[in-house]
Amino acid sequence: MTAPIPNRSEAQFTGFQAPRWAEPVVMEMGCPGRRGVVFEDAPAPDLPMGAMRKTAPALPEMTEHDALRHYLHLSQMTLGMMGVSLFGTCTMKYNPRIGERAALEHLADLHPLQHPDTLQGVLELYDNFSDFLCEVSGMDQFVFQAGGGADAAYTHACVTRAYHASRGELEQRDQIITTIQTHPCSPATANTAGFEVITLSLEEGGYPSLEQLKSVIGPRTAALMVNNPDDMGIYNPDIKEWVRLVHEAGGLCFYDHANFNGVMTRLRARELGFDACMYMLHKTFGAPKGGGGPAVGAYGCAEHLVPFLPSPLVVKDGGRYTLDDDRPQSIGRVREFWGNAPQVLKAYAWARAMGGEGLRTAADISVLANNYMDKRLSEVKGVSRSNPDVTAPRMEMTRHSVEQVTKDTGCTIVDISNRMTDFGIDALWLSHEPWLVAEPFTPEAGELWSREDIDYWIDVMAHVINEAYETPDVVKTAPHNAPIHQIKGTDMADPAQWATTWRAYTRKHAKRLAAE
């Protein structure tokens, strides 16, 4: 029996306060002679003299307790910011702990340079997951080498080059078509691969017209690279005709499935006519994402593009699995080995646990939650949504704007985002560049967040916007309850100030450190 959903009530703000420690960086800690573990003298290693250190590494000398306490303090400050996170355009999901355990238990002792005969389990995993994604996409083969969505888009740009080169048409076909609301990685990677990029603008309905597409298609067309629905939540109903027209001109069609969450089991890229597609395992399929990685862009294609896929390819030969590197038409490697195996394992475990019925339910919840948010946000003072003339329900996310709030109060969307963190809301996602919508924000609830969480998020935004009208300085100077308050971003543009390693930091700030 399903428990009833309680009626919504106004949010009770509980006085969120993130922990804050006056914690130095670890390289500034410790004292000579302190140790966490004392090792016996080791025999001289059998290494070439050139590989031996002449001096000991400059590491802090600390007890185990000191080190543990330091990183506990850092984790407390970090976890203090893990609130409600409706991170749009990225489909952020809960990452099941069982995936972490499975990766540690089954992959920790493996190395990709082992002989394939000793890697049968992990190769079977890759083959099975390829089959799973082929089922949901209609494609014939997937590879997992690409290190993220942009890497998968680049893989397609390279596959496009190889395909047209095999037909003697590469010099002729030097243009890739995309749209202004397609993920920026598509035009960026197409340009990196040497293609001229043609970007279509939005028209009535929130997407480019067929007439605009027809005006740029021709003998120079190499490919179409688009995502659908886009980040504004709008689905282009003419997409099958787009694909037909590009194919008629001799080009390929690539489907960026970054926004797959709302259409899982509802459509298959190959049935729409696409030659290839991409899924982000670190988003849609429940694997972790953060800090620029780890990530996997699963790239799949139809049979006519399989010869050009990155090598090596996992191949099933009878009851055994091998790595096929003898593929003369392959584009080679786009990343080392066969991709990020722990992420593939976690995503596969998530997909198998969900099953087809679970994926369909998740898509339904994602669309329902987004349209619930859309309705409630429309009632918040100063909030509007993109393409207001498009009245059809949006998909799994909708782009909104606080442009009116900024005009009235001077508080920007960044100010509002900073202030929302004071109530346990993670900093919200704005928009990919270029900003087609002024002062944008793009929440996406997905299937993860409860109605109570969604209501709390919206109530906090409404509260902060009211503050912007009544006490704008409180909003402009936020956050107030975070471990670190506002910092000046000017130094980030000065190479003499910022540093990404301790060695660089000490070199750039040697005089100040010596004076201290």
User: Domains in the chain, please, with CATH?
Assistant: 97-352 (3.40.640.10), 356-488 (3.90.1150.10), 489-516 (no CATH)
Maximum Cα interatomic distance, the chain, rounded to a whole number of Å: 76
Nearest by Cα to 506 from 58, 71, 34: 58
Q: Which residues contact 456 (CB under 8 A, 6 or more apart)?
A: 11, 84, 425
Token pair 């259409």 is found at 263
Cα-based angle 66, 511, 499 (whole degrees, multiple of 5): 60
- Which whole number is the average pLDDT over 482-488? 82
Q: How far is CA 460 from CA 197, 274, 486, in A?
A: 41, 42, 20
Distance of alpha carbon 115 from alpha carbon 21, whole angstroms: 48
Which position has the higher pLDDT, 6 or 72?
72
Q: CA 400, CA 402: separation in Å to the nearest integer?
A: 7
Q: pLDDT tens digits, residue range 18-73?
A: 888 888 999 999 999 998 888 887 677 777 878 888 888 889 999 999 999 999 99
Instruction: Give the model's pLDDT for residue 8.
Output: 53
pTM: 0.88
- Sole residue written with tokens 């038409």: 329
Burial state string for 31-53 with b = 16 or more CB within 10 A and e = fewer than 16 = eeeeeeeeeeeeeeeeeeeeeee
> pLDDT, tens digit, for every residue of 380-404?
999 999 999 888 888 989 999 999 9
Q: Please give the pLDDT value at position 516.
A: 72
Q: What is the pLDDT of residue 465?
A: 97
The secondary structure of residue 75, as a DSSP letter, is H
Average pLDDT (98-114) is: 90
The label of the residue with tokens 């106004």 reads 10
pLDDT over 90 at 164, yes or no = yes
Residue 9 pLDDT more than 70?
no
Residues paired with residue 102 on neighbouring β-strands, in sequence order: none
Q: Bridge partners of 197?
A: 176
